[in-house]
Amino acid sequence: MTIEQCYALMGSDYTDVLNRLRSERLVQKFVLKFLDDKSYELLCTSMETGNNEDAFRAAHTIKGMCQNLGLTVLMRSSSELTESLRNGPTPESGPLFEQVKADYAMTAEAIKAYKDSLEA
């Protein structure tokens, strides 16, 4: 699998991110690193325990990473979740969190597939 195919799988625009980061090596490096980031775990636990401050920050961080990596789909849902948590949780936060979960799973799966294809 090429990195470009991986982006297509994630519903994201590879050309855009390449234009910004200027090198395929960098895109590859950071996309693979994305899976190591702990923000998603923090988001899940703090959503469960109702720690809104941490949840907001975690969502915000995910959004920022997605922006930088051009992961459009997850960026959209995490951005909406961030806004819904900004001034304390709102009724939309729950459904939006579910959406983030789904988008994250999809994104992570694509990246994992790409990673496996590199190692194969």
Partner 1 sequence: MKKEKILIADDSEMNRSILADMLSDSYEIIEAEDGVQAVSILKNSVADLSLLLLDIVMPRMDGFGVLEAMNQNGWIEDLPVIIISAETSSSHVERAYELGATDFIARPFDAIIVQRRVVNSLLLYAKQKRLISLVEDQVYEKERQSDLMIDILSHIMEFRNGESGLHILHVRNLTDLLLSCLVKKTDKYKLTMADISLISTASALHDVGKMAIDEKILNKPGKLTDEEFEIMKTHSAIGANMISDLPVHQQEQLVKTAYEICRWHHERWDGRGYPDGLKGDEIPISAQVVSLADVYDALTSERVYKPPFSHEEAVDMITHGKCGVFNPLLLECLSENVEKFLATLSSDPIDELKRSKIRSISEEMLKNEGGGVSKRTLRLLDRERMRNNFYASMTESVQFEYGINPSMITFSGWGAKKLGVEEIIMNPSQDPKLNDILGEGAWPKLERAVRATTPEHPEMRLDLPLKTGDAVRWYRLVTRSLWTDDAPPKFDGVIGTAMDIHDSHSKMQELEKKAARDPLTGLLNRASAREKIEFKMLDHPQSRFALAIIDLDDFKKANDIYGHMFGDEVLKFVAKNLRESIRESDVSGRFGGEEFLMFLEYKTDIEKTVDRIRRSVCGVIENYTVSVTVGVALSDKVGLDYEKLLHAADAALYAGKRGGKAQYRFYDDSMKNLLESDTQDI
Q: Which residues bind partner 1 (CB under 8 A)?
A: 17, 19-22, 26, 29-30, 33-34, 37, 39, 54, 57, 60-61, 63-65, 67-70
Least distance between partner 1 and beta carbon 29 (Å)? 8
Residues 2/113, Cβ–Cβ less than 8 Å: no
**What does the alpha-carbon distance between residue 72 and residue 65 come to, in Å, rounded to a whole number?**
11
Residue that is written with structure tokens 């975690």 in the block: 58
Long-range contacts of 101-105 (CB under 8 A, 24+ apart): 101/44, 102/77, 103/73, 103/74, 103/76, 103/77, 103/78, 104/40, 104/62, 104/74
Q: Which is nearer to partner 1, 45 or 120 (CB)?
A: 45
Q: Which is nearer to partner 1, 60 or 77 (CB)?
A: 60
Q: Which is nearer to partner 1, 36 or 120 (CB)?
A: 36
Least distance between partner 1 and beta carbon 78 (Å)? 11
Least distance between partner 1 and beta carbon 120 (Å)? 25
Residues 17/39, Cβ–Cβ less than 8 Å: no
Least distance between partner 1 and beta carbon 84 (Å)? 15
Q: Which is nearer to partner 1, 54 or 92 (CB)?
A: 54
